[in-house]
């Protein structure tokens, strides 16, 4: 494939514009030359360049398959036109039909995946396609039922601790903007495979090439249902409302009666389900528990899983009219120049404090153009919020988290159920409880003007919050640590210089964004296994190895690969012994 890098395309470009670009770059004289030489083409990458408001355009890289590609490279001699080999993902171990059927005889070789978020579901898809027929344990409900519980929380304030924004099919990402971009390099093609997987299950094809891809919460729900159905079709099993409450070594080594003694340890999982408590034995477990499974972290600590504190960030959600952000990013006259062809504008902001005793980073996170703020609480006496957008990003407001870095030193005096390593959870809880108190059980909301003075907001001005959930005008100074509050106040005028109107006195600020990432990391070795627990694979955001949908899903795929590598030889030997025993 030939890549035509960074071609300039007008707003609203179409297929004919791409063909014209290909003809020009490859020096094809006419349509006949194009038909004779070009077999196919597709967009590889697309980004919006809005730096010059009078000349906003797309920067598009095009992949072209030609009959004689090396000849074209010699002819054009252009550094932005190069030959490349598509990076195709391949799972390392695919088991045959005999081994797949054997998994019904010795079910301990069926991997168990705890959690159905991005890491859990992408691991499940890969293991199902490879024939390993995993069992997925999800403490929450299917997305259709989960939506009803979340609507009840938003409309009445009644929380279901096991079915909410954080727990249930798809994890926390289900009710978000559905962002799929990541700042990391795609070593091994994992990110590309994640994007391609989403497209296969119903995402728009543009997800595979946009520089800032997003699915939207409304579309993502349907994708999850498609993934669920395929997991089941391929022999996997999904057990909703099944909560892991303990993991221990299974000392029963009697096997299933044909003489094979596995070298792999067997784990006994204790699970709570609607039908009651039961045990499940397996050689392998993927822990894709998500960043809010606080009780699961505690159980792992109790069972001596090695864990470590890690940095995270907390702060607020800042809300503006989408039109304010659009004009700041695209220019006051953008509608005259481009009509409705531009996407709702996004932004990325970073600031490093200067006046505080200790330097802090203040930055935007999970920016939701044309979106909503949502109540994402998981505990009765705490308030936590997140951002969410539909695919079209067409609500009246845009919002973003503005958060401040938190280091382990900041929560050194906190413990969670007497576990020092889980102090970050206790720290988060204290912030969320303060938000609950400030808002009288609702989301506390203030204006930037009142945040400066520290006074309680009596009424909002020109911006009406778009919040899914009950909110109350309040103050948030009592919610945040002083160094977080002051860092945000110091950053806002700087952000106002970057984006006109950002520090408008009417800007709406809601609290509290406390779960941007996990406050703890479950230690694992080079084979992705938990130290001291061979066959247990911590994965995704909850394990502390990812941040966002794409990186969590990619980590889930890597965990699935590691599981297949771990099981394959022992599974084959066990099957051989079983086959031999039938003739004895």
* Domain endpoint, select from 513, 534, 557: 513
114 and 76 share one domain: no
Handedness of CA 450, 456, 461, 465 (dihedral sign): positive
**H-type helices in 107-167, by residue range?**
118-129, 143-156
201 and 243 share one domain: yes
Report the pLDDT averaged over residues 488-509. 98
453 and 377 share one domain: yes
Please, are residues 214 and 392 in contact by the beta-carbon 8 Å criterion? no
Asked if pLDDT for residue 291 goes beyond 90, the answer is yes
pLDDT band at 209; cut points 50, 70, 90:
very high
Q: How confident is the model over 383-398, as pLDDT tens digits? A: 999 999 999 999 999 9
**H-type helices in 283-400, by residue range?**
294-302, 322-330, 334-338
Residue 465 is assigned to a structural domain of this protein? yes
Asked if pLDDT for residue 544 goes beyond 90, the answer is yes
Question: 584 vs 207, which has greater pLDDT?
Answer: 207
Q: How confident is the model over 545-559, as pLDDT tens digits? A: 999 999 999 999 999
Asked if pLDDT for residue 149 goes beyond 70, the answer is yes
**H-type helices in 166-254, by residue range?**
190-200, 217-233
233 and 322 share one domain: no
Task: Scan for tokens 């990432």, then name that residue.
Answer: 517
pLDDT band at 188; cut points 50, 70, 90:
confident
Q: How confident is the model over 74-85, as pLDDT tens digits? A: 888 888 999 988
Residue 89 is assigned to a structural domain of this protein? no
68 and 143 share one domain: no
102 and 30 share one domain: no
* Domain endpoint, select from 83, 117, 138: 83
Q: Provide the mean pLDDT of the chain.
A: 95
**Residue 260's pLDDT is what?**
82
pLDDT band at 261; cut points 50, 70, 90:
confident
Residue 235 is assigned to a structural domain of this protein? yes
* Domain endpoint, select from 456, 491, 513: 513
Q: State the CB neighbour count (10 A cutoff) for residue 442.
A: 19
Adjacent-strand bridge partners of 446: 509
Instruction: Kindly report the CATH number assigned to the domain that includes residue 19.
Output: 3.30.70.2700
Question: 68 vs 296, which has greater pLDDT?
Answer: 296
375 and 490 share one domain: yes
Q: Is beta strand 112-114 parallel, antiparallel or unpaired with respect to 285-287?
A: parallel
What does the alpha-carbon distance between residue 525 and residue 558 come to, in Å, rounded to a whole number?
13
Asked if pLDDT for residue 259 goes beyond 80, the answer is no
Strands (E), 289-422: 307-309, 312-321, 350-352, 361-368, 372-375, 385-388, 397-406
Residue 572 is assigned to a structural domain of this protein? yes
129 and 205 share one domain: yes
pLDDT band at 47; cut points 50, 70, 90:
very high
Tokens of 312: 């995270």
pTM for this predicted structure: 0.95
Report the pLDDT averaged over residues 131-147. 98
Asked if pLDDT for residue 125 goes beyond 70, the answer is yes
Q: How confident is the model over 306-364, as pLDDT tens digits? A: 999 999 999 999 999 999 999 999 999 999 999 999 999 999 999 999 988 889 999 99
pLDDT band at 39; cut points 50, 70, 90:
very high
Q: At what angle do helices 549-581 and 190-200 cross, to 10 degrees?
A: 90
Adjacent-strand bridge partners of 267: 249, 282
Residue 90 is assigned to a structural domain of this protein? no
Residue 92 is assigned to a structural domain of this protein? no
502 and 534 share one domain: no
Residue 312's nearest CA partner among 400, 425, 167 is: 425
**Residue 255's pLDDT is what?**
54
Residue 411's nearest CA partner among 328, 311, 531 is: 311
Residues in the chain: 584
Please, are residues 15 and 62 in contact by the beta-carbon 8 Å criterion? no
Domain of residue 65 covers 2-83
Residue 513's nearest CA partner among 370, 319, 368, 376 is: 376
Asked if pLDDT for residue 258 goes beyond 70, the answer is no
What does the alpha-carbon distance between residue 120 and residue 308 come to, in Å, rounded to a whole number?
22
What does the alpha-carbon distance between residue 207 and residue 199 come to, in Å, rounded to a whole number?
7
528 and 508 share one domain: no
**Residue 183's pLDDT is what?**
74
User: Per-residue b/e over 79-105, b at no fewer than 16 CB within 10 Å?
Assistant: eebeeeeeeeeeeebebeeebeebbee
Instruction: Kindly report the CATH number assigned to the domain that includes residue 577.
Output: 3.50.50.60
What does the alpha-carbon distance between residue 428 and residue 513 come to, in Å, rounded to a whole number?
10
Residue 178's nearest CA partner among 206, 220, 148, 130 is: 220
Please, are residues 497 and 372 in contact by the beta-carbon 8 Å criterion? no
Q: How many domains does the chain have?
A: 3
Distances (CA, A) of 370 to 78, 228, 259, 293, 332: 40, 29, 62, 30, 18
298 and 398 share one domain: no
Residue 16 is assigned to a structural domain of this protein? yes
Residue 521's nearest CA partner among 550, 537, 541, 536 is: 541
300 and 331 share one domain: no
Residue 381 is assigned to a structural domain of this protein? yes
Q: How confident is the model over 409-463, as pLDDT tens digits? A: 999 999 999 999 999 999 999 999 999 999 999 999 999 999 999 999 999 999 9
pLDDT band at 88; cut points 50, 70, 90:
confident
pLDDT band at 254; cut points 50, 70, 90:
low
């Amino acid at each position: 494939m030939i890549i035509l890098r960074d071609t300039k395309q007008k707003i609203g470009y179409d297929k004919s514009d791409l063909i014209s670009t290909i003809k020009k770059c490859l020096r094809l004289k006419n349509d006949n030359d194009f038909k004779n030489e070009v077999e196919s083409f597709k967009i590889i990458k697309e980004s919006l360049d809005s730096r010059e408001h009078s000349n906003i355009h797309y920067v598009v890289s095009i992949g072209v398959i030609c009959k004689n590609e090396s000849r074209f490279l010699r002819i054009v001699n252009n550094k932005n036109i190069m030959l490349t080999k598509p990076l195709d993902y391949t799972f390392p171990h695919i088991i045959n039909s005999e081994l797949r059927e054997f998994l019904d005889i010795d079910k301990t070789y069926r991997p168990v995946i705890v959690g159905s978020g991005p890491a859990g579901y992408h691991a499940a898809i890969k293991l199902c396609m490879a024939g390993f027929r995993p069992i997925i344990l999800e403490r929450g409900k299917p997305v259709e039922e989960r939506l009803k519980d979340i609507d009840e929380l938003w409309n009445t304030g009644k929380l279901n601790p096991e079915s909410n924004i954080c727990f249930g099919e798809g994890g926390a990402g289900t009710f978000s903007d559905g962002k799929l971009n990541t700042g990391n390099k795609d070593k091994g093609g994992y990110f590309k495979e994640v994007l391609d997987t989403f497209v296969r299950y119903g995402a728009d094809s543009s997800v595979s090439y946009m520089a800032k891809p997003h699915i939207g919460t409304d579309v993502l729900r349907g994708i999850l249902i498609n993934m669920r159905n395929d997991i089941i079709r391929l022999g996997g099993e999904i057990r909703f409302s099944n909560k892991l409450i303990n993991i221990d070594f299974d000392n029963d080594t009697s096997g299933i009666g044909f003489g094979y003694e596995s070298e792999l340890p067997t784990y006994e999982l204790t699970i709570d389900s609607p039908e009651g408590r039961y045990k499940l034995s397996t050689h392998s477990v993927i822990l894709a528990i998500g960043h809010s499974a606080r009780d699961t972290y505690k159980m792992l600590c109790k069972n001596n899983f090695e864990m470590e504190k890690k940095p995270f960030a907390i702060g607020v959600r800042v809300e503006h009219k989408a039109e304010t952000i659009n004009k700041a990013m695209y220019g006051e006259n953008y509608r005259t120049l481009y009509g409705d062809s531009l996407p709702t504008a996004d932004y990325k902001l970073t600031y490093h404090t200067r006046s505080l005793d200790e330097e802090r980073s203040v930055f935007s996170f999970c920016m939701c153009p044309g979106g909503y703020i949502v109540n994402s609480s998981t505990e009765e006496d705490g308030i936590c919020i997140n951002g969410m957008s539909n695919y079209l990003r067409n609500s009246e407001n845009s919002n973003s988290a503005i958060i401040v870095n938190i280091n382990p030193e900041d929560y050194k005096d906190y413990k969670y159920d007497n576990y020092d390593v889980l102090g970050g959870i206790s720290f988060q809880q204290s912030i969320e409880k303060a938000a609950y108190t400030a808002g009288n059980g609702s989301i506390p909301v203030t204006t930037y003007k009142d945040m400066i003075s520290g006074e309680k907001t009596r009424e909002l001005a020109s911006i009406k919050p778009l919040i899914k959930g009950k909110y109350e005008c309040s103050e948030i100074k009592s919610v945040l640590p002083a160094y977080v509050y002051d860092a945000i106040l110091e950053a806002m005028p700087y952000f106002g210089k970057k984006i006109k109107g950002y520090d408008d006195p009417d800007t709406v600020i809601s609290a509290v964004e406390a779960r941007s990432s996990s406050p703890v990391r479950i230690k694992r070795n080079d084979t992705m296994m938990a130290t001291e627990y061979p066959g247990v694979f911590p994965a995704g955001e909850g394990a502390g190895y990812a941040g966002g949908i794409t990186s969590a899903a990619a980590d889930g795929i890597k965990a699935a690969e590691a599981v297949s590598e771990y099981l394959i030889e022992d599974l084959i030997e066990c099957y051989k012994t079983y086959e031999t025993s039938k003739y004895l």
